[in-house]
Structure formats: structure tokens, C-alpha cells
Amino acid sequence: MTALVDRIPLSQKVSGHRPWWRALVGEVLWHDVVVGLAEGRLTLVSLWGEPRTVHMAVLDDANSDIGILSLDCPERRYPSVGRLHPPAIRLERAIRDLFGLEPVGLPDQRPWLDHGRWPERHPLGGGGPQSHVEPYRFLPAEGEGLHQIPVGPIHAGIIEPGHFRFSVNGEVLVRLEERLGFVHKGIEGLMAEADLETAARLAGRASGDSTVAYALAFARAVEAAAGIEAPRRAVCLRALMAELERVANHLGDIGAICNDAAFAFLLAHFSVLRESVLRASNACFGHRMMMDRVVPGGVSVDLDGPGEARLAALVDAMRPQFARLVDIYDSTASLKERTVSTGILKPELARQFGAGGYVGRASGRPNDARVVPGYPPYDGIRFEVPVLHSGDVNARIWVRIREVGESLALIEKLLAALPQGPVRVPIAIGGRGEGGALVESFRGDVFVWVRLGADGRVVRCHLRDPSWFQWPLLEAAVEGNIVADFPLCNKSFNCSYSGHDG
């Protein structure tokens, strides 16, 4: 099998695109790549639009090469990817809503992000007046004794909004259909023409729980486009923040999943541990969630000596307390009875959708962006990426548990070898450039692609949350489970509404 990269003629490759290649392709090569996705040789990384172009980023599983294919569509039509490869369907519906590009052959004609409430249609593709909006048609589920439970967009808790349509037979879920887009803020529209500082703040608020990961992905994409590298000390501080973010979120998630099985005791204890991470982050970096601390060119705040000691003490205190709570989780039969064999995600689906994070790694897909494609400083530090195969709620909890342990060890290693030196370099303005980055958030891989203008402003930026490939899998994982286990399944996925809706 010829690697994808070898099939792209050099002349079609766009100059000034880093670190991966981007190539202008025709419909024939575009189609071949779609077939490669459908046959499982390639994994879809993202799919996004511009007013007259559609872009597709793919990962070649054979050699871990990432490439971006761009297809001009002057007629505002292109051959649908989702026609042969279902993970692309929602992305294509979003491209149609935002840019007015028609994916020819797409089996789903319904809008996705556009709920008929914006002042205009195709807001990023030249606009046009809103026309009459048809009521949204959910997919049918028919049979004797079936009934529907509509939930949302506003849910009964401190949760983001989205609509779930359950078709139920007695207690058993026959079909779940999600309808999302309620928190679409138009981030990619706001990014266009924004200066780097504003754009970095926007990227850091695509999904607040992953603010470090998003800011890092944006910064790395900008640095790639500008052809610079952040100083070594900044690279290590970024990783420290990213691991603190991972630990804090995993602690919150594990407690919250247990709480959804009515085991509030562990929620209380895990939330105390989570709070200790947030307070240490605040003391060391000046913000509990470390928003706006990672910036293009480096970091906006340095870590001082007392800060290093505080983080070392945090890890020391955390380990025994965490182990004690994990032991309680693992030895409480009534709790395990709820999590084991509940909400099973099949490995084939995880692979097909390229599911990242604990969703993929609990179902046998080993990918972690810190390893493939990899980025510094992780290329120089040994750590384990836990992979389980049972695909149930319990496996998604255990991937998190083991990742907390790995992240604590990573924090120790980073502290032990923290280089001295500057923490930020300026981004030189001048010359167009394009860059991409893939960064591992606690939830999975965040993809960012950016094009910078000669004035140093953002021309176009695309952000793809890991949830795009996880939300559809939640629909599959809950099938055949009872309604009462939905909160457990949902929390064990913990997809981002904000990150997905954009």
C-alpha cells in the first residue's frame, strides 16, 4: 500500500504550511482518500470550510503521517465525505450551515448548527437572508409500545444545553438522537480578522474545561505558521499546566460519574481533591483554570520557586488520598454493579470514528496526541498511555484513574528537570503562513488550523473539539441500556457541548 503522502505530487503542496503538508487536490484524489477513510486505512482528523474551498485533515494509520487536502469548489459543491464515511456527516452539515457548501450525496439533508435563529444563512460563506425554517425532523423509531422522552435543551442540573430525544421501550433505550448547536457562539467567525491576543482568548474559551489544551493548540498552530518555536522553559510550563488541567478534570469526572450512581460520598471526596488542584493552579499561575496563561510564543506567566514547591507538595499529598478513594470505588460492589458492562462502546466504532481520549482508549484505540503525532516536551519523557478494551463505563473510569497517576508522575518529572531561561518570544509579523496543531486535552485530541495574514492577524482559524467524534458514539453506546443508566453513560463520555457547537 502506497502511503498517502507519496501520492501527492510535490507541485500541489502549498508552501509555507507547517508542520504537515497541505495539498490542493482534484476530485479523483479526494475520492480516493474518502475511500481510504471508509476502508479504515485513514482516520478523519477534521473537515472544515472556507467560502470556496473545503479542507480535510487525515491521519495515515500506517505511518502516523498527517496531511491536509484542499478541494476548490467554485460551484459551492463538493463530493460528500459522509456519504461513504459516517463520522463526517455532522461536520458536513455544519459546513453547509456556515458556508453554504453543498456536500453532494450527503444522506442527511437536515441543518445542524443553524436553528433558523441567526440574522442570515451561511454567515461565513457570504450570507443570505434567512428563509422559512422547517421544523426539525427527528429520525423515526417505530414499533409496538415505543414512546419518546424529549430532554432539553435545558437540563435538570448545572449542565450545558443540548437536546436528547430518547425512544424507549419500557425501561430500555431503543434509540437516542442528539440535537446540538444550542451554544454555537460563532467562534470561527469572530476569529477572522482578530489580532493574535484576541484570537488566543477566544480559542481558550472554546471549551472552558480544556482552556489550557485549546490555548496550547492555538499557540502551536500559530507558531508553526510563523515558523518559530516557544522557549524550552515555556514548553515545560505549558505541559505542567496541561497535566494539572487533566488531573483536575479527571478528578471531577470520576466523582461526578459515581454521583450519577447515587454515590455522593465519592463526589464529595473527589471534589475536595479537585479543589486542591485548582487552588494550586491559582497560586502558581494566577488563575484557577489557567485561562490565558498559554499564549502564542510561550506563556504569559513564569513559575517561581515557591510555586514549584507548591506543585511538588500537591503531588505528594494527592497520591495517598487518591489511592484511598480509588480503592473505595473499586471495592464497592453496589457501585461497580452500575458501571461494569454499562454503556459499552464497541472497539470497531471507536476506531471508525477516530475517537480520542478516554472514550477511545477504553475501547482499545490507543491514540494519544502527546505520542502520535507527538509534541515537545512529551517526546523526551517516558509515560504510559493506558488502553483498556471492555468499552464500558467502568473502563472509562479506569482510563481516567490511570491517567491521573501518569499525569502526577509527569508533573514530578517536569518539575525535576525544569530548564531556566525566557518564557516567551515575540511572533514576527510579516509574510503569510499556515499552521496546524493536534494537542491532547483531558477529553481527547484538539485540532487547530490557522492561516495568518501579512498584518499578523488571523485570516481563518478552525477549531475541532474531540467531542465531534464522541457525541455520535454516545448514541451507539447507550442503545439497549436502561433510561436510568443514561446519566452514567453520558457523564462517562463527558462530551463538550460548547467545544462541539463552536
Partner 1 sequence: MRKLMIDSLFQAPLTEPAPAPDPAAMAELAGLVDRAARQRLGRSLAIRHVDVGSCNGCELELHALGNPLYDLERFGLRFVASPRHADVLVVTGPLTRNMAEALERTWRATPDPKWVVAIGDCAADGGVFAGGYACVGGVSPTVPVDLHIRGCPPDPTRLLAGLLALIEASAQKG
- Let me know: does 107 contact 82? Beta carbons within 8 Å: yes
Instruction: Answer yes or no whether residue 497 interacts with partner 1 by CB under 8 A.
Output: yes
In 10 A of CB 25, how many CB atoms? Answer: 22
Strands 21-25 and 17-18, how do they pair? unpaired
What is the x/- site pattern for partner 1, positions 178-217, by CB under 8 A? ---xxxxxxx-xx-------x--xx--xxxxx-x------
Query: Considering Cα of 317, then 320, then 322, then 325, what sign does the dihedral take?
Result: negative
Whole-number minimum distance, CB 118 to partner 1, in Å? 5
For residues 437 and 203, what is the distance between their CA atoms, to the nearest angstrom? 13
For residues 122 and 192, what is the distance between their CA atoms, to the nearest angstrom? 15
**Grid coordinates belonging to 361:** 482508549
Q: Which residues contact 61 (CB under 8 A, 6 or more apart)?
A: 40, 41, 42, 43
Taking the least distance from each CB to partner 1, the nearer of 25 and 187 is 187
Instruction: Answer yes or no whether residue 262 interacts with partner 1 by CB under 8 A.
Output: no
Instruction: Answer yes or no whether residue 388 interacts with partner 1 by CB under 8 A.
Output: no
Whole-number minimum distance, CB 123 to partner 1, in Å? 4
Q: Which residue in the set 118, 177, 376, 459 belongs to the binding site for partner 1 (CB under 8 A)?
A: 118
Q: What's the first-to-final CA gap in the chain, in angstroms?
A: 37
For residues 475 and 496, what is the distance between their CA atoms, to the nearest angstrom? 15
Taking the least distance from each CB to partner 1, the nearer of 169 and 332 is 332
Subset of 322-341 contacting partner 1 (CB under 8 A): 324, 328, 331-332
Looking at residue 305, its amino acid is: G
Subset of 30-69 contacting partner 1 (CB under 8 A): none
Taking the least distance from each CB to partner 1, the nearer of 320 and 421 is 320
The long-range contacts involving 288-292, CB below 8 angstroms and separated by at least 24 positions, are 289/208, 289/209, 289/211, 289/212, 289/245, 290/211, 290/212, 290/241, 290/244, 290/245, 291/204, 291/205, 291/208, 291/211, 291/215, 292/200, 292/201, 292/204, 292/215
Residue 48 phi, psi (nearest 5):
-150, 165
For residues 58 and 65, what is the distance between their CA atoms, to the nearest angstrom? 8
Query: Considering Cα of 399, then 405, then 411, then 414, what sign does the dihedral take?
Result: negative
Q: Which residue in the set 43, 80, 281, 496 belongs to the binding site for partner 1 (CB under 8 A)?
A: 496
Taking the least distance from each CB to partner 1, the nearer of 128 and 480 is 128
Q: Which residue in the set 3, 268, 323, 417 belongs to the binding site for partner 1 (CB under 8 A)?
A: 268
Instruction: Answer yes or no whether residue 278 interacts with partner 1 by CB under 8 A.
Output: yes
For residues 137 and 398, what is the distance between their CA atoms, to the nearest angstrom? 38
- Distance (Å) of CA 4 to CA 9, 23, 61, 164, 457: 11, 11, 10, 39, 32
Taking the least distance from each CB to partner 1, the nearer of 318 and 344 is 318
Q: Which residue in the set 157, 305, 320, 421 belongs to the binding site for partner 1 (CB under 8 A)?
A: 157
Q: Near partner 1 by CB under 8 A, which window of 112-120, 355-363, 411-419, 449-457?
A: 112-120
Q: Which residue in the set 13, 76, 288, 310 belongs to the binding site for partner 1 (CB under 8 A)?
A: 288
Q: Near partner 1 by CB under 8 A, which window of 5-13, 75-83, 119-127, 409-417?
A: 119-127
Taking the least distance from each CB to partner 1, the nearer of 211 and 470 is 211
Q: Which residue in the set 1, 10, 28, 158 belongs to the binding site for partner 1 (CB under 8 A)?
A: 158
Whole-number minimum distance, CB 40 to partner 1, in Å? 33
Q: Which residue in the set 27, 39, 75, 120 belongs to the binding site for partner 1 (CB under 8 A)?
A: 120
Binding site for partner 1 (CB under 8 A): 115, 117-120, 123, 153-154, 156-161, 181-187, 189-190, 198, 201-202, 205-209, 211, 252, 265, 268-269, 271-272, 274-275, 278, 282, 288-289, 291, 324, 328, 331-332, 496-498
